[in-house]
A and B are shown apart, each in its own frame.
Chain A
């Protein structure tokens, strides 16, 4: 198995590229060898998974719990893992964990994130930045400001935006993680960038 050899010889990196690590089918869940292979393949993606969790859940403690749950689920399903690449696979699992968390929060008496998202998706794109001059350039902002602006995006847009701009996933991979057609990824990304840009421009306007 040449794939196995090159995988083992390289320093562990979390790859976006396709090419699943080959896995024997019958490894038991408590198989230390399987745990080691899982560790080698999945742990390099820990920061990526944690980053998405921070954006989706906003709260650092919730993010930690979600990431831990994500890795446990991933280990459980590691035997049947045949692809995609490790990183989008883990991110898809994390996304499901986060949606379970949304459902839990939704039972609390606050407006649900999904409700906001639905109405935002129906707003026409071009109404978003009508009064800002198109040539106006964004001034540089520090990471914490941009993070705050990204976090303010409505849910499906934020998710698409983070997967594209921060996780560097391709449209096809994003479509796989978010379980939507590629066309939806494209329109969500366009909307996400339009909203972020107008929020960014509003941020740098002097207060009136």
Chain B
């Protein structure tokens, strides 16, 4: 390769426009030609300086506005139903809605995951010595009034001893930065924490069981309250607990 050829091709080398074969040829020439090597270094340096300096111009705001104004504007009158539908079918409106849905779903499951993790944490804390109950009583008529004035809700405290779940007391806890009532039951050696919070929705929600960090969480909503029962009990026994609690709560509310 001659210096005249290299003088052109070294620019393509700097710009990454050479294929591997030509790049090797230019590099081979440069390795043996100090003059071309110096040129390459000098132009590399210049390209870097040019890249570092901001040589672009920013369009004046007025120009942008004039171009926007020159574009056909959406019709002034209310769009026809067909136009609306077409808008949905095409591009950004549809994807904007899809994106909103996605965000909502992400937030919701994030929220649920966070609350689940806080509930399990609260359950674990309660199992540490001396933290299980603030009021220690197997008598629901002692536990229920204890919550008065401590919470913005009156959690139903139901004695399920006859059904195999012994009420052992109540506790004030914190989940999602809010004070919640925890009603504590025992089944054999297993502790069940039943967390109760207020919910904005009065819609009843059927119970479902989830597992988090090896604990079963059974959650449901009823009468404007959210319930989470957490335990290391087997899922079927925890389901039995929630069924019995719900039916007892209904009959006590009815009675």
Contact residues of A between 124 and 175, Cβ < 8 Å to B = 125-126, 134-138, 140-143, 146-147, 150, 164-166, 170-171
| B38 interface residue per 8 A CB criterion | yes
Grouping DSSP codes into helix (H, G, I), strand (E, B) and loop, the A interface class, with mixed when no group exceeds half, is helix
B42 within 8 Å of A by Cβ? yes
Contact across chains for B46 and A32 when beta carbons are under 8 A apart: no
A136–B45 Cα distance when bound, in Å, is 11
Instruction: Give the tally of cross-chain contacts (CB within 8 A).
Output: 132
Is B162 interfacial (CB-CB < 8 Å)?
Answer: no
Inside 8 A of A170's CB, which chain B residues have their CB?
17
Q: Which of B66, B67, B94 has the most CB of A within 10 A?
A: B67
Chain B residues near A36: list those with CB within 8 A: 74, 91-92
> Does A86 make an interface contact (CB < 8 A)?
no
Chain A residues near B68 (CB-CB < 8 A): 39, 43
- The B-contacting residues of A in range 30-74, CB under 8 angstroms, are 30-40, 43, 46-51, 54, 63-64, 67-68, 71-72
Contact for B38 among A32, A35, A49, A135, CB less than 8 A: A135
Contact in complex: B45, A75 (CB < 8 Å): no
Q: Using Cβ atoms and an 8 Å threshold, which residues of chain B touch A166?
A: 50, 55-56
Choose, from A97-105, A106-114, A185-193, the stretch at the interface.
A185-193
B148 at the interface (CB under 8 A from A): no
Q: Which residues of A contact B60 (CB under 8 A)?
A: 64
Q: How far is the CA of A138 from the CA of B91 in the complex (A)?
A: 49
Is B72 a contact partner of A186 (Cβ separation < 8 A)?
A: no
Do B46 and A138 have beta carbons less than 8 Å apart?
Answer: yes
Q: In angstroms, how far is the closest chain B Cβ from the Cβ of A195?
A: 12
Contact of B53 among A50, A71, A142 (CB under 8 A): A142
Interface size class on chain A is 35 or more
5 closest cross-chain pairs (CB), A and B: A134-B38, A50-B59, A32-B74, A35-B72, A8-B91
- Check B15–A37 contact: CB distance below 8 A: no
Tell whether A32 pairs with B72 under 8 Å between CB atoms, given A46-B63, A134-B38, A147-B55: yes
| Chain A residue at smallest Cβ distance from B37 | A134
A186 touches which one: B12, B38, B53 (CB < 8 A)?
A: B12
Selected contact of A68 from candidates B9, B51, B63, CB within 8 Å:
B63
Cβ contact within 8 Å between A32 and B49: no
B60 CB, nearest partner CB in chain A, Å = 7
CA distance A80 to B47 in the complex (A): 37
A91 within 8 A of B: no
Complexed CA–CA distance, A170 and B12 (Å): 10
A interface with B by C-beta (< 8 Å): 4-5, 7-9, 29-40, 43, 46-51, 54, 63-64, 67-68, 71-72, 75, 125-126, 134-138, 140-143, 146-147, 150, 164-166, 170-171, 186-187, 189-190, 193, 196-197, 200
Interface residues of B (CB under 8 A from A): 4, 7-9, 11-12, 15, 17, 35, 38-39, 41-43, 45-47, 49-51, 53-60, 63-64, 66-68, 70-75, 86-87, 90-92, 94-95, 99
Contact (A50, B63) CB under 8 Å given A33-B87, A140-B49:
yes
- Give min CB distance, B54 to chain A, whole Å: 5
B17 A171 Cβ-Cβ under 8 A? yes
Which of B8, B11, B60 has most A Cβ within 10 Å? B11
B76 → chain A closest CB, angstroms = 11
Chain B residues lying within 8 Å of A138, measured Cβ to Cβ, are: 42, 45-46, 49
A36 to B73, CA, bound (A): 9
Q: Which residues of B contact A4 (CB under 8 A)?
A: 90-91
Besides A39-B68, A75-B71, 17 new A-B residue pairs in contact (Cβ under 8 A), listed by A number: A33-B87, A34-B72, A36-B91, A46-B63, A68-B66, A68-B67, A125-B7, A126-B4, A134-B39, A138-B45, A164-B15, A171-B12, A186-B9, A186-B12, A189-B15, A190-B8, A190-B11
